[in-house]
Amino acid sequence: MQTFTISKLAQAVGVNVETIRFYQRRGLVAEPAKPLGGIRRYGEAEVARVLFVKSAQRIGFTLDEIAQLLQLDDGTQCKKARAIAEHKLADVRKRLQDLQRIEAALAQLVDRCASRRGQVSCPLIAALQPIPHAL
Amino acid sequence: MQTFTISKLAQAVGVNVETIRFYQRRGLVAEPAKPLGGIRRYGEAEVARVLFVKSAQRIGFTLDEIAQLLQLDDGTQCKKARAIAEHKLADVRKRLQDLQRIEAALAQLVDRCASRRGQVSCPLIAALQPIPHAL
DNA sequence: ATAAGTCCCGTACCCAAGTACGGAGTCAAG
DNA sequence: CTTGACTCCGTACTTGGGTACGGGACTTAT
């Protein structure tokens, strides 16, 4: 298809044009060959790409990590891909646990605040102490 | 108690001394009064504080957000605290959803890689597209 | 009482992830 | 065929989260 100019692409995914160009420099988004001294055109693939980057970022991946994740998408080198994916998976699971703990803590806090004003000694700090520090 | 010097504190929680000082400037960690031209002493409260900051950071909160969260711990101003907490809670739940999606996608990828080599067209990209883009 | 090792504090530097800027080229409409 | 909007590309600036550095004060072992 290749229907977007860079600014349309940026607009479609809700980021700055400069951000697209920045991603291109980082190799996260393809730079289509420009047609004989002209203006590059982008398609759905690029839209998907940028959305992926932004989503992955929202959950805490760095651009370098995202670059790795994107390599998995090639389908080739399944062995390597698997190693990276497993590593990330462990990582993600740890993040999930932490998030779940803080979610519980926050929900509890909100709940207590709602039902009973007064001495709420916040459970947040406790929620994030993995070991009850025996040092 | 107040048994740690700043470097012992840093060492106890596994961060750089400079990081502690940086947090103090940001108001994230208390700076105990220094005893008449001398050296400040830190206790378990500061250890907990720094660990909290690091944990919260791991799951994607910024230092500014963490400062807000820490204010909730005061117990006072329950109304305000509740508002902040509710906001954060919504935020956390969104992060959780995203993480769960990517966890599933990664787990699937690993699984497929394990059982069947060959044309694995990575489910990651799909996993992070909220809407199947109908534009 | 002195040298080694810390601490205090300010300032400067670093990296990641953008954002802004500016000049030159392109393209579509009037 | 010019004007205005947009593109291309390079370079510079910004913000968040630290790290590093350096001079002077303090404290402790010898």
How far, in whole angstroms, is CA A113 from its chain's centroid?
32
Query: Which residue in B106, B8, B2, B13 sits closest to B57, CA to CA?
Result: B13
State the ipTM, two decimals: 0.70
All residues of chain B having their beta carbon less than 8 Å from the beta carbon of residue A132 are none
Cα distance between residue A121 and residue A117, in whole Å: 11
Q: How many CB pairs under 8 A join A and B?
A: 151
The whole-chain average pLDDT of chain A stands at 79
Tell me the residues of chain B between 37 and 76 that have a Cβ less than 8 Å away from chain A: 44, 47-49, 51-52, 55-56, 58-60, 69, 72-75
Asked whether residue A24, judged by its CB, lies under 7 Å from any atom of the DNA or RNA strand C, the reply is no
In angstroms, what separates the C-alpha of A46 from chain B's closest C-alpha? 12
**Is A81 at the interface with chain B, CB within 8 A?**
yes
DSSP string covering chain B? ---B-HHHHHHHHT--HHHHHHHHHTTSS--PPPSSSS---B-HHHHHHHHHHHHHHHTT--HHHHHHHHHHTT---HHHHHHHHHHHHHHHHHHHHHHHHHHHHHHHHHHHHHH--S----SHHHHT-SS----
| B1-61: CATH class | mainly alpha
Could you give the residue ranges of the DSSP H alpha helices within A1-135?
6-13, 17-25, 44-58, 63-72, 78-115, 124-127
Q: Which residues of chain A have pLDDT under 50?
A: 120, 131-135
The whole-chain average pLDDT of chain B stands at 79
Residue nearest to nucleotide C19 (CA to C1'): A18
In angstroms, what separates the C-alpha of B78 from chain A's closest C-alpha? 6
Question: B52 and A12 in contact by Cβ < 8 A?
Answer: no
Q: Provide the whole-model pTM.
A: 0.73
How far, in whole angstroms, is CA B120 from its chain's centroid?
34
- CA quadruple A104, A110, A114, A118: dihedral sign: positive
The answer to whether residue B7 scores a pLDDT higher than 70 is: yes
Tokens of A6: 């860079």
The answer to whether residue B18 scores a pLDDT higher than 70 is: yes
CB-nearest partner of A55 from B56, B79, B98: B98
Residues of chain B above pLDDT 70, percent:
73
Q: How confident is the model at residue B73 (pLDDT cuts 50, 70, 90)?
A: low
Q: How confident is the model at residue B36 (pLDDT cuts 50, 70, 90)?
A: low
Cα distance between residue A93 and residue B59, in whole Å: 11
The answer to whether residue B128 scores a pLDDT higher than 80 is: no
